[in-house]
Amino acid sequence: MKKGFTLVEIMIVVAIIGILIAIAVPGFLRARENSRGQACQENLTKIDGAKEQWALEWKISNGTASPSNFLSDTNYFGPNGYVKKEPKCPSGGTYTCNPIGTDPTCSIGSSNAPFIPHIMPKG
């Protein structure tokens, strides 16, 4: 008599692996998107801190528009700037600085519900 696995045994193993993958993949995708949202929130906080530090250093008042090239100029972001490198949204969104005293925004915003939104955290 030959030793080995029957077709039924192999099919059961494949079915179990398929079920485990079906359970694990959605959780992995949810965790990945939530971590992207959290990273974007951290980037927005860094942009806000750099913008506020710039405003304090140059005695700029609230409501004043930040420079249009604030996110791309190496005087603000880079080795000699307020943050070492320009932040990039991990989901491909674009950042807008907004005037001094208001929060910077990401183009994705809250549109990726039910995952962590790409907005400045409260408090």
Can you give the pLDDT at residue 98? 94
Examine residue 3 and state whether it is found in any structural domain, yes or no: no
At 107, list the tokens.
């183009």
Examine residue 117 and state whether it is found in any structural domain, yes or no: no
Q: What percent of the chain has pLDDT over 90?
A: 77
Summarize pLDDT for 26-78 with one digit per residue, the tens. 999 999 999 999 999 999 999 999 999 999 999 999 999 988 898 888 889 88
**In terms of residue numbers, what domain contains 77?**
8-106
Phi-psi region of 10 (alpha: psi -120 to 50; beta: other; left: phi over 0): alpha
Number of domains in the chain: 1
Residue 1 has pLDDT above 80, yes or no: no
The amino acid at 69: N
Can you give the pLDDT at residue 9? 95
Examine residue 99 and state whether it is found in any structural domain, yes or no: yes
Examine residue 2 and state whether it is found in any structural domain, yes or no: no
Query: Given pLDDT bands bounded at 50, 70 and 90, which one contains residue 109?
Result: very high
Examine residue 47 and state whether it is found in any structural domain, yes or no: yes
Query: Given pLDDT bands bounded at 50, 70 and 90, which one contains residue 16?
Result: very high
Examine residue 54 and state whether it is found in any structural domain, yes or no: yes
Examine residue 111 and state whether it is found in any structural domain, yes or no: no
Examine residue 85 and state whether it is found in any structural domain, yes or no: yes
CA gap 97, 84 in Å, rounded: 17
Task: Kindly state the DSSP code that residue 21 receives in the 8-state scheme.
Answer: H
**pTM metric for this prediction:** 0.85
